[in-house]
Structure 1
Amino acid sequence: MPKMKSNSGAKKRFKKTGSGKIKRKKAFKSHILTKKSSKRKNNLGKDTLVHKSNEKSIERLIPYS
């Protein structure tokens, strides 16, 4: 059976943690930053985990990560 292909966009956006969960970046940090508070911008810069309901579909996109 041939290897499955990883989704190129998903490869760039998601990483697996040591425990097998999927890590992602937060949105809304790229522009229109003047009206956002420093606290909000700081929190948007941090990584977070993908929600449990989306994990299975993302794991299909990155089978070998």
Structure 2
Amino acid sequence: MYKLKTSKSIKKRIKYTSNGKLMRHCSTRSHLLQKKTSKRKRRLRKISFINLSDKLNLKNSLPYI
């Protein structure tokens, strides 16, 4: 049986917690920040967790994590 390849781009963007949850940063925080409210930008600073349904889709991209 051959080795499964890990998607390096996804590996750099997603981290695991000790409980097995997947963490990611929120998107849309890199540019065009003038028209976004302070409340929205503050909320985008936080780390969000990935849903269980998406976690099952990522299992093929990250086979050894």
Aligned partner of residue 23 in structure 1, secondary structure = strand
Query: Unaligned regions of 5+ residues in structure 1, if any?
Result: none
- Segments ≥4 residues shifted beyond 6 Å: none
Report the counterpart of residue 20 of structure 2 in structure 1. 20
The RMSD of aligned alpha carbons is 1.2
The aligned length equals: 65
Matches within 5 A, 1:1-65: 1-65=1-65
TM-score (norm. length: structure 1): 0.86
Aligned-pair distance for 1:64?
2.2
Query: Unaligned regions of 5+ residues in structure 2, if any?
Result: none
